[in-house]
Amino acid sequence: MFRLDGKTAAVTGAGSGIGRAIATTFAGAGARVFVVERDVRGGDETVAAIRARGGTASQIECDVTSADSVAAAFARIDREAHRLDLLVNNAGIAHIGTVENTSEADLDRIYAVNVKGLALCSRAAVPRMKKAGGGAILNLASIASLIGLVDRFAYSMSKGAVLAMTRSIAVDFIKDKIRCNCVCPARVHTPFVDGYLHANYPGREKEMYQQLSEYQPVGRMGTPEEVAALALYLCSDEASFITGQAYPIDGGVLVF
């Protein structure tokens, strides 16, 4: 179960964190993985990790905010793999602030990556999946798309758009056998979290890490591998009856 043998997957932002975990998990399940990443060094590290475990992966440098860069990236997938079955729109950035102190530049930056980037990659993927006879798109949303989070105005705006786009793609292409779902994590322990704590709470990293962990009723943050396991299921044939859905993976946040 949950094998991806013979399938080609593109994972954006796979140079670290959740994206890297998804890329390595998909490769371990038999997929040929394209690491679509602006950070060449991070992308190369992910590819090296996959190949060290016997998987198949290639790195494609890509800025998801640029239509030309996205077009070039997916054209390379055409040349090398001749098909695309799976797309994980993982690339994203965060922002802290309210509507009062979020600048126009902040809004534009968040929109460009989290919303426009997802739209451009999905637009590139859909015709290729039609040609392949179907496929699956998985978007990384957040619990911020489902509930209000303090000081996350622009970020929540973008992740709400991810949820809306997920459902739109699902209904538009269901007859083409293209499924589209999203996952909605709470806090996940990634290098971004460590960097955020170091930059904003020097000397108090351990204390603040514990506070962030306790936000989840289970008492800890999630792991990238846990998100990757859910992603694998939703992109596998075992989930062929699921489309247009948002899956929280939140340690109990939405329950309590």
pLDDT given at position 253: 97
Residue 252 CA from chain centroid, whole number? 21
| Per-residue CA distances from 81 to 9, 21, 77, 78, 84 (Å) | 10, 22, 6, 6, 8
pLDDT of residue 152: 95
List pLDDT tens digits, range 86-134: 999 999 999 999 999 999 999 999 999 999 999 999 999 999 999 999 9
Topology (CATH level 3) of domain 8-185+224-243: Rossmann fold (3.40.50)
What is the Cα–Cα distance from 235 to 29, expressed in whole angstroms?
11
Average pLDDT of 7-34?
Answer: 98
Is the predicted pLDDT of residue 231 greater than 90, yes or no?
A: yes
Strand partners, 246: 182
> How is the chain split into domains, by residue range?
8-185+224-243, 188-221
Mean pLDDT of 18-40: 98
Cα–Cα dist 128/78, whole Å:
8
Active-site residues: which are they?
155
Whether the per-residue pLDDT at 200 is higher than 90: the answer is: no
Over residues 211-223, the pLDDT tens digits come to 999 999 999 999 9
Average pLDDT (147-157) is 97
pLDDT score at 28: 98
Could you give the CA distance from residue 129 to residue 70 in angstroms, rounded to a whole number?
Answer: 16
What is the spatial distance between Cα 190 and Cα 33, in angstroms, rounded to a whole number?
21
The band of 196, judged by pLDDT with boundaries at 50, 70 and 90, is: confident
Tens of pLDDT, residues 66-81: 999 999 999 999 999 9
Q: What is the mean pLDDT of residues 7-16?
A: 98
Closest by alpha carbon to 99, among 145, 150, 141, 146?
A: 150
* Mean pLDDT value across residues 59-72: 98
In sequence order, the 6+-apart residues with CB closer than 8 A to the CB of 227 are 18, 21, 22, 183, 185, 188, 249
pLDDT of residue 18: 98
CA 200 – CA 236 distance, rounded (Å): 39
Query: Taking residues 169-198, what's their average pLDDT?
Result: 96
- How many degrees, rounded to 5, is the angle at CA 199 between CA 196 and CA 201? 90
